[in-house]
Amino acid sequence: MSTLDTGLSRGRFELRRFFRDRDGVVFTFALPAFILLLLGNIFSGDLPGTDVTMGQVYAAGLIGAGIISTSFITLGVGVAEDRSNGTLKRLQGTPMAPAAYFVGKIALVLVLSLAEVALMFAVGVGVFDVELPSDPARWVTFSWVFVLGVVSCSLLGIAASSLARTASSAPAVMNLPYIGLQFISGVFIHLPLLPQPMVVVSSFFPLKWVAQGFRSVLLPDSMAIQEAAGTWEHGRIALVLGAWCVIGFVLCVVGFRWTGERRGG
């Protein structure tokens, strides 16, 4: 079998293993939808000065947060668990090419991310009257933001998995930055309400740009003035997310560990 065939076979195994973990399934899929329902109903009015509801704004941002959860956290925790229980070490000793392992993980993340988007679209359209775009150009924007967001955060998740000393500590290691960034990236709190230093910090990380990209797809162009720069900044979104793809790849190459032993330790 080729590396791709082996990797896709590994991906099917990863999917079966993921869906057997009911707690993981609920956290990955239900939590973003639950938060959307919660925030969208608590803050049910229109955004001041617009005819766009807060539910619609939250839906756009939380779709971005949802796919980062399915990529960054799922891979970070999953790879840390595979390292801790010896799976990675055993795979190193098999004829399977190491690349096939990562193909399997990528297949897992792509399926989960698409399913997450479908669920969030269903909640947004069904509950908060989110209108899916009819302009093909907006779907093109959605596609490249989705791909760059998933790739960059998947690579960062793989790289960050090496920071967890044990499998049990991995969820805390991965969730701490993810939760913090949601508060300062315009997902939970509208950007104009945040202190400027927090907005500056968030602009260095992918979540702000993924959420902003999805807002540009699902919200009217008049909402661009609500962003930090007053425009959608599609060029900067692509630049920042593309840069994080490169940074994530370098971090994976330099810092990835196949065993639980730290280099030089």
Average pLDDT, the chain: 88
Lowest mean pLDDT among 180-189, 199-208, 215-224, 249-258: 249-258
Both tokens assigned to 125: 């359209």
Residue 262 above 70 pLDDT? no
Residue 260 above 80 pLDDT? no
d(CA 57, CA 145): 17
Confidence label for 240 from pLDDT (cuts 50, 70 and 90): very high
Residue 43 near residue 54, CB atoms below 8 Å: yes
> Position 39: which residue type?
L
d(CA 166, CA 170): 7
Residue 94 above 80 pLDDT? no
Confidence label for 263 from pLDDT (cuts 50, 70 and 90): very low
- pLDDT, mean of residues 90-96: 77
Write down the domain spans for the chain: 3-255
> Position 225: which residue type?
I
Which position has the higher pLDDT, 205 or 8?
205
